[in-house]
Amino acid sequence: MSRYAHLVTVALLCSVALNGYLLLQDNESASTSPADSDSEHSQSTSSDVQRQLPTQQATPTVHSGVSPNTESQRNSAFTSETFNESMTQARAWLAAGEYGKVEAFIQRMSRQHYNDPDLLLLEADWLLATQPLSLALTHFYGLLDDDVLPADQQEALATRTESLRDEAIRALYEGREWDILAQFIEPLFQLFPTDRSLILLLAESYAQQEKYILMEDTLASLPPDHPGAEKLRKRMQTAQTESNIEDNFDNSLPDKTLTSRVSLEKYGEHYLVDVNMQGTDTKLLLDTGASSTAINRDVYRRLQRFNRLQMLGLFDVNTAGGPIRAPLVRVESLTLGPYTLKDVGVLVLPRTFSGNNDGLLGMNVLKQFRFQLDQDKAELVLAARN
């Protein structure tokens, strides 16, 4: 028995030793396997992230299909296109006479496009349509001095400015619109105080209104022996002498063969006279207190329907109803009785003008005749001046 017990004891010890060894191996395997697995997973994840990063960084570019520079250019082109479309609309407003919309557009766009040549030229045209011609030309000259326009637009504006100025001076001078001519030249004279042609024109416009002190003050800008100044003084002295003679003739008009009689229509305390302008018949109020002839807008529209009237610009003038700002147009022919005058300046009265007549016959026309008003017969007696 003791021998059998000894064998069993040895067998049990061997079994315990074997189980202990196996358990030890399992524990080592269990302790190393998760670490290796985590390491491999970490390396795999890191590698995957590295492969994905370039793709993630490039995703916006691939998705949009354009580079940031291209996108900026597209936005700039869109803004430019929108601005050009807005300019086209503003030009349409200007042509339609919607000046308030044009003014609001200019104010809004000037914040971002204050140096844009097209916007500057739009503003110049808007001023020409809404302000007296002399002020508009003053703005034109300022724009030319700033030298902010491209060379071709600068040259075109310079040519246009001189054309507007010379055309207005010629029309006002030939039409004997002396008060309006003086008003037109005065601000230009402030801009160009040494321009001798402007000095002489301004001095003559004063002299024709018998404002001889203003004439001499203006001529003082010239050298004392300037031939143009002396010639003007002599011419005005001769004209004044002839005017005195003609005034005596006006009071009598003795030679009936030299006169023509035009029938008048009684209109309250005043008279209406028939005047034909470029084939259009009108009835104008005979007004010796008005310096300029004027028509209402209905007559203007009738004239425009068959003729293209030349617009000379806006002018501030004094009337019996107070000062007004009105456009001055050139009428190619004006017929009063048997006499026809050429290239006469005529104001277009504002819509606020009230009256049933077609306008006023002013002294710019009547001064070209020796005339009398025969109230008994309701006739205007006319004689041509030599």
**Is pLDDT at 41 greater than 50 in this prediction?**
no
**Is pLDDT at 24 greater than 60 in this prediction?**
no
Q: Give residue 303's region: left, alpha or beta (phi > 0; psi -120 to 50).
A: alpha
So what's the pLDDT on residue 13? 62
C-alpha closest to that of 346 among 370, 362, 324: 362
* pTM score of the predicted model: 0.68
So what's the pLDDT on residue 291? 82
**Is pLDDT at 253 greater than 70 in this prediction?**
no
What is the tens place of the pLDDT at every residue in 57-97?
443 443 444 454 554 444 444 466 788 888 999 999 999 99
So what's the pLDDT on residue 36? 43
Strands (E), the chain: 259-267, 270-277, 280-286, 293-295, 310-319, 322-336, 339-348, 359-361, 369-374, 379-384
So what's the pLDDT on residue 169? 93
Mean pLDDT on 310-326: 80
For residue 320, name the pLDDT band (cuts at 50, 70, 90).
Answer: low
So what's the pLDDT on residue 244? 60
Average pLDDT, the chain: 79
Residue pointed to by tokens 């010890």: 13
Torsion of CA 166, 168, 171, 175, to 10 degrees: -130
| Most confident listed range (126-130, 288-292, 352-356) | 126-130
Pairwise CA distance, residues 112 & 110, whole Å: 5
**Is pLDDT at 378 greater than 60 in this prediction?**
yes
What is the tens place of the pLDDT at every residue in 161-195?
999 999 999 988 988 888 899 999 999 999 999 99
Beta bridge partners of 339: 336
Pairwise CA distance, residues 136 & 2, whole Å: 140
So what's the pLDDT on residue 35? 41
Q: Which residue has the higher pLDDT, 18 or 131?
A: 131
Q: Give residue 317's region: left, alpha or beta (phi > 0; psi -120 to 50).
A: beta
**DSSP3 helix / strand / coil % (the chain, rounded to 5):** 60, 20, 20
**Is pLDDT at 32 greater than 80 in this prediction?**
no
C-alpha closest to that of 347 among 327, 333, 320: 327
